[in-house]
Amino acid sequence: MRLFGDKTAGIYLPLGRKKVPKRITYRMERSLTGSEQVYRSVCRVCHGGCGVYVHVKDGRVVKVKGDPASPMSKGWMCVKGVFSPEIANHPDRLKKPLKRKKGRGEGEWEEISWETALGEIAERLDKLRIESGPESIALGQGTGRHHYMHVVRFANALGTPNWYEPGLAQCFIPRITVSNLTYGGFVVGDYYGAVRPKCILFWGHNPLITGPDGELAVSVKRALDDGCASIAVDPRRTETAKRCGLWLAVRPGTDAALALAMINVIISEAIYDREFVERWTFGFEELKKHVEGFTPEWAEGITTVPASKIIEAARKYALNKPAILEWGLGIEQNHNSLQTVRAIAVLRAITGNIDVPGGDILGMNIIKSYPTLKDKLPEGAARKRLGGDTYKLLGGWRAFMPSAHIPALFKAMRTGEPYRIRALLVFGNNTLTSVANSREVFESLKRLDLLVVTDLFMTPTAAMADYVLPAAFWTEVDQVIGYPLVVENMVMAQQKITQTGECRQDEWIMDELSKRLGLPGASEDLTHVMNCQLEPLGITFDELKKRAFEFPAHEYGRYERHGFRTPSRKVELYCKSLERMGYGALPTFKEPPESPAASPDVARDYPYILITGSRRLEFFHSEHRQIESLRKLHPDPLVEMHPKVAGQRGIGSGDWVRVSSPRGSIRMRALVTEDIHPDVVAVEHGWWFPERKGPDYGVWESNANVLTDNAPPYDPAFGSYQLRGLLCDIEKEH
């Protein structure tokens, strides 16, 4: 294999070196020895985005290797990506459309043609939208996949305001929305420029394992290897926290109190960026007065983090510039989501770490936004969005991606209040493992008139469907990807390389249904959509595939010329937009509703604090547990606990234990470790057992969402509910 370079601004150096060019493009000779061919693409086995070479022989993926020229991954790959051939070629892949033969969930199927499947589904959808209105049809999807925005497009074209993704109120959207309200745009860590960060504050985020959205583990690892100051805020000493010089083991759900105390220290000790604050922030004096009582000593009593550590963390972050603040979904999975994220967002502003080299940078947005056909949603439909009138930043007109409130949506399936949801089309989401309160979700799905699931494998959710459609794997998909997500500072091409059975890309399925239903935009295929996205760069998708990526130089400090994209043209520490919507203009703390402090009666029976959602490198949410090579690396679901908890319950590492909450109980294998808050129990999420007999495939045995709750109180702006800091008990199985 030979590479021919068009080196427009430097070259990429071997893994671990520091120089990063502005742009580089390559083309490849595809003819190799024998019948093997190699293609450049982007690995999407998760939503990370590592650049790769895909080796294909006789129409099958035989090897996936890292691309050293990738501006993000530079040749690095995680274990999931390495084993992509095993996933792509797995004998249990769904390969033909299936139609349910008997009762829902009985596991009896017949294979049908695509023409029959699409025709019957379209006919049933048409009947439902005529009888009950398009809002009676809901769309669901998983996180961060190629078809994410196409689901939104299809929903708008169909005329339904009711689409969901399990993380919307619980993951990422609060951070995006708060960033837009506070800074006028989303921010990400500057790992790809010439200046390295001097400090990284990881808050509820474990990027060395998760590597999300183009913010890859290898970039974080290099920054830590360079010796920057590092702080981790997390109830667990995660893989990332173990690399940090300071670990704050915060009580789950109290992050806002910790952030407010750090703001107090930075302001009271006058270690904030005075020049930036005076020139580029709005509401500093109001903030200063607001945080006077939020001292480290006050926060210690709430968070259990010693006041001395709070002071140390605040000083380290404020005085080591440029600094990056990496935040994760741990700060959003509570009923105080908006104000928790707001409090942490303020830290960036008062330390002047916004859009500076080596800090948190605003997006270049070098491609067009995805054409979601928002203007095609019928007049009045938005007012029918479930939860939209109540949770304005989730489903209202100010929402980043207006969507339905999940508890309200599933309640409408069960009860018909305020109207009945009769159909659900799911694209790449194992709903029974990924939505809170799995038992209630199960009852909701049973009430549907029509359930259609598109996925790679048969799952517990797919087993309940009327139709199961075979999805394309990432090596079988075309996509334009702007990275990191939302900021789009670079763009990459994922390309279809192989074909498995009759598997189809999700976008194709939606487009074919659109044609049969006569929906707006039905004549615009995916290639048209991708070329529209690339118009600002003056290239087509076919041209991008040859180049693999585009990575223009970042323009720092654009606010110096134009101001921030906020009403005041400054960073809004005091947010009048929130005030006008009826929410607090300054961040505040609220005690979690289910906690030792708020619900002592519950705590008597469930004395430990539960967190759910810890991830492992081998899996992506509920995916890949049927992949033998990955499962060997992590065969059993794990629950982490401190030796204090283990001693109280007579549990040793490796024991099978039962974890229970007021909602139910599950079994997991114990991992006893000092690397966790002494009162916290942490369970992995996404577990089911493909090797077990269907139709449930053991989904009730170790599924973290059997323990979780989707009940109020909800965050007043996003409708977020408590998934962290719940109460639980644990006992050894005998």
pLDDT, one tens digit per residue, over 523-561 is 999 999 999 999 999 999 999 999 999 999 999 999 999
The answer to whether residue 591 sits within a structural domain is no
DSSP character at residue 34: T
> Degrees (nearest 5) of the Cα angle 623, 626, 629?
105
3-state SS, 345-397, equals HHHHHHCCCECCCCCEEECCCCCCCCCCCHHHCCCCCHHHCCCCCCCHHHHCC
Q: Identify whether residues 67 and 128 lie together within a single domain.
A: no
**Confidence check: pLDDT of 626 > 70:** yes
CB within 8 A of 510, min separation 6: which ones?
Answer: 147, 150, 151, 153, 154, 427
Amino acid identity at 710: N
Residue type (1 letter), 711: A
Q: pLDDT per residue over 67-92, tens digit each?
A: 999 998 989 999 999 999 999 999 99
- The residues, any chain, with a CB within 8 Å of residue 134's CB and separated by 6 or more, are 158, 159, 160, 378, 381
Residues 6+ apart with CB under 8 A from 165: 140, 141, 142, 143, 148, 151, 403, 429
Domain assignment present for residue 560? The answer is no
The whole-angstrom separation of Cα 533 and Cα 526 is 11
Please say which residue of 550, 567, 583 terminates a domain: 550
> In the structure, what pLDDT confidence band is assigned to residue 57 with cuts at 50, 70 and 90?
very high
Q: Taking residues 513-531, report their average pLDDT.
A: 97
On the question of pLDDT at 33 being above 80, the answer is no
**DSSP state at residue 226:** T
Q: 28 and 112: one domain?
A: no
CATH for 226: 3.40.228.10
Radius of gyration for the chain, computed over Cα atoms and rounded to the nearest angstrom: 25
pLDDT above 90: residue 367: yes
Model confidence at 645: pLDDT above 90: yes
Contact 457, 625 (CB under 8 A): no
pLDDT for residue 4 is more than 60? no
Q: pLDDT-based confidence at 13, cuts 50/70/90?
A: very low
Strand bridging mode 549-550 / 490-494: antiparallel
Domain membership of residue 212 (yes or no) is yes
**Are 321 and 432 members of one domain?**
no
Q: Is residue 568 part of a domain?
A: no
Boundary residue ending a domain (364, 390, 411): 364
In this predicted structure, what is the pLDDT of residue 214? 77
Whose structure tokens read 């709430």? 302
Instruction: Please check whether residue 555 lies inside any domain of the structure.
Output: no
Q: What pLDDT score does 14 carry?
A: 27
**Per-chain mean pLDDT for the chain:** 93
pLDDT at 16: 33
49 and 193 assigned to the same domain: no
Q: Does some domain include residue 575?
A: no
For residue 255, what pLDDT is reported?
A: 98
**CA 5/CA 545 separation, integer angstroms:** 15
Domain membership flag for residue 592? no
Residue 26: predicted pLDDT:
34
C-alpha dihedral (205, 208, 213, 219), degrees to nearest 10: 120
Q: Which two tokens stand for residue 368?
A: 């067009």
Q: Give the bridge partners for 481, in sequence order.
A: 492
What are the strands, taking DSSP E only, across 423-555? 423-427, 450-455, 467-470, 479-483, 490-494, 549-550
Cis peptide before 695 (omega within 30 of 0): yes
Q: What would the pLDDT profile of 597-609 be if each residue is shown by its tens digit?
A: 999 999 999 999 9
pLDDT of 671 above 70: yes
Range scoring the smallest mean pLDDT among 6-20, 418-432, 463-477: 6-20
Predicted pLDDT at 103: 86
- In this predicted structure, what is the pLDDT of residue 706? 98
> Is the domain of 354 the same as that of 392?
no
Overall average pLDDT of the 475-496 stretch: 96
Same domain for 477 and 530?
A: yes
Instruction: Answer yes or no: do 481 and 352 share one domain.
Output: no
Residues 554-583, mean pLDDT to the nearest whole number: 96
At residue 620, φ and ψ (nearest 5 deg) are -125, 105
Residue-wise pLDDT tens digits, 91-145: 999 999 999 998 887 889 999 999 999 999 999 999 999 999 999 999 999 987 8
- Cβ neighbours around 30 below 10 Å, total: 12
- Residue 218 and residue 74 share a domain: no
Q: Is 110 exposed, middle or buried (0-12, 13-18, 19+ CB in 10 A)?
A: exposed
* DSSP conformation class of 274: H
pLDDT for the residue numbered 54: 98
Determine contact, residues 411/384, Cβ cutoff 8 Å.
no
The domain boundary residue, chosen from 53, 88, 123: 88
Residue of higher predicted confidence among 22 and 697:
697
| Whether residue 329 is found in the same domain as residue 196 | yes
> How far is residue 165's CA from residue 143's CA, in Å, rounded to a whole number?
7
CA 232 – CA 200 distance, rounded (Å):
8
What's 495's domain CATH number? 3.40.50.740
Indicate whether 77 and 121 sit together in one domain: no
Report the alpha-carbon distance of residue 323 to residue 476 in Å, rounded.
39
Report the CATH number that the domain containing residue 606 is assigned in CATH.
2.40.40.20
Distance CA 434, CA 448 (A): 19
* Residue 720 vs residues 139, 172, 683: alpha-carbon distances, Å: 19, 12, 20
Report pLDDT digits (tens) over 258-299: 999 999 999 999 999 999 999 999 999 999 999 999 999 999
Report the C-alpha gap between 179 and 638 in whole angstroms. Answer: 34
489: pLDDT strictly greater than 50 = yes
CB of 662 within 8 A of CB of 620? no
- Say how far apart CA 650 and CA 604 lie, in whole Å: 19
The count of structural domains within the chain is 4
- Mean pLDDT score, 163-182: 94
Burial of 220 (0-12, 13-18, 19+ CB in 10 A): buried
Distance of CA 461 to the CA centre of its chain: 20
Residues contacting 693, CB < 8 A, separation 6+: none
Same domain, 419 and 337: no
Distance CA 533, CA 535 (A): 6
| Nearest-5° Cα angle at 347, 341 to 353 | 120
**410 shares its domain with 545:** yes
Residue 50 lies in a domain: yes
Helices and strands (H and E) in the chain: how many: 25, 29
Q: Residue 17: give the domain boundaries.
A: 3-88
Q: Could you tell me the CA-to-CA distances from 23 to 52, 359, 419, 549 in Å, in that order?
A: 17, 21, 53, 9
Packed helices 506-517 and 526-533: angle between N→C axes, nearest 10 degrees = 110
Contact 571, 508 (CB under 8 A): no
Q: What local confidence, expressed as pLDDT, does residue 34 receive?
A: 58
Share of the chain above pLDDT 70, in %: 95
pLDDT tens for 449-460 read 999 999 999 999
The set of residues, in sequence order, having a beta carbon less than 8 Å from that of 255 and lying 6+ positions away, is 203, 204, 233, 303, 330, 331, 340, 343, 344
Q: At 137, which amino acid appears?
A: I
CA neighbor of 375 nearest in space, from 521, 185, 486: 521
Domain with residue 83: its CATH number is 3.30.200.210
Asked if residue 305 lies in contact with residue 255, where contact means CB atoms within 8 angstroms, the answer is no
pTM: 0.94
Rounded Cα distance, 386 and 382, in Å: 9
Q: Does the bond joining 678 to the residue before it have cis omega, within 30 degrees of 0?
A: no
How far apart are alpha carbons 511 and 387 in whole angstroms? 28
pLDDT for position 150: 98
State how far the alpha carbon of 100 is from the alpha carbons of 122, 445, 459, 460, in Å.
16, 15, 14, 14
